[in-house]
Amino acid sequence: MISIIMSLEKIEILNLLINKDNLSTLLEQAIKLIEEKEKFYVCAPNAFLTVKANEDKQLLKIINEAAIVVPDGMSSVWVAKKFKSLNLKRISGYDFFYEFSKIADKKHLSYFFLGGKNQDVLIKIKNKLKVEFENIDVKGFFSPPFYTNEMPDEVNKSVIKMINDLNPDVLWVGLSSPKQEKWIYENIKKIDIKMACAVGAVFDFYSGEIKRAPVWMQKIWLEWLFRMVIEPRRLFKKYLVYNNKFMILVFKDFINKKFKIK
């Protein structure tokens, strides 16, 4: 991981180290690492994950040790522009996945998918990939039962064995945050892959299980509102609570830096 961390510039946003490079540069670096047979992982924090990382030192360490950290949330883009005079571009987890797949198709890379609501969602992903990117070999997929915390040890061991037996190049993990980031960090040394990427809701978007916000809503920073309307029962409280917590973090960070409070 050392080579990519040194070659890509990161900025600190509310204690998270986030890449400031554009999507094409990050994709080039990801492919370079894969070709150099470096094992690494990618995170895509939004406002929710930013707050959780500030509440959980282990999670903050996990994100900050990722080779690539893309600014998935418009929240990070806003903070960078407002308080750091940086024109940071949002890179959604979906865009990273889709644009990476264009390159993976040309290079005949292989995938494994871990997570998602159920096996049917993963089958839809595999079938759609076969149509769009026929040279990507989806070697396998597994949607584990829902666990409030981490997977039981016996399940975890069987998942690792399943992945290692198939030996994919790339592992896409959609177990919801922060479980997916923690799972990758705790298991990456045991897994025979080149890149692991925590992608959250990308499985639902790409499979068509959940509709993504129109482009115009994405451009004016309202994708979160669209998602909340689509899934109010699951997301209303989450966005209400964590968007407010995020703004409190921004205020505290501004005051601490302005008055040099440690």
pLDDT (tens digit per residue) in 17-48: 999 999 999 999 999 999 998 899 999 999 99
Q: Which helix (H) or strand (E) holds 16?
A: strand 16-19
For the chain, what percent of residues have pLDDT higher than 70? 97
* Neighbouring residues of 185: CB distance < 8 A, sequence distance ≥ 6: 41, 62, 65
Most distant CA atoms of the chain, gap in Å: 56
| pLDDT value for 7 | 52
96 within 8 A of 23, measured Cβ to Cβ: yes
C-alpha dist (Å) from residue 226 to 52, 144, 215, 218, 247 = 22, 28, 11, 9, 20
Which amino acid makes up residue 18? I
- Is the pTM higher than 0.85? The answer reads yes
List the domain boundaries for the chain: 2-207
Average pLDDT over residues 189-195: 97
Identify the residue with better confidence: 256 or 106: 106
| pLDDT value for 1 | 45
* Neighbouring residues of 182: CB distance < 8 A, sequence distance ≥ 6: 58, 59, 62, 150
| pLDDT value for 6 | 45
C-alpha dist (Å) from residue 145 to 152, 180, 202, 236 = 10, 14, 18, 24
Tokens read off for 253: 């960070």
pLDDT at residue 244 above 90? Answer: yes
Identify the residue with better confidence: 75 or 136: 136
Kindly report the average pLDDT of the chain as a whole number.
Answer: 91
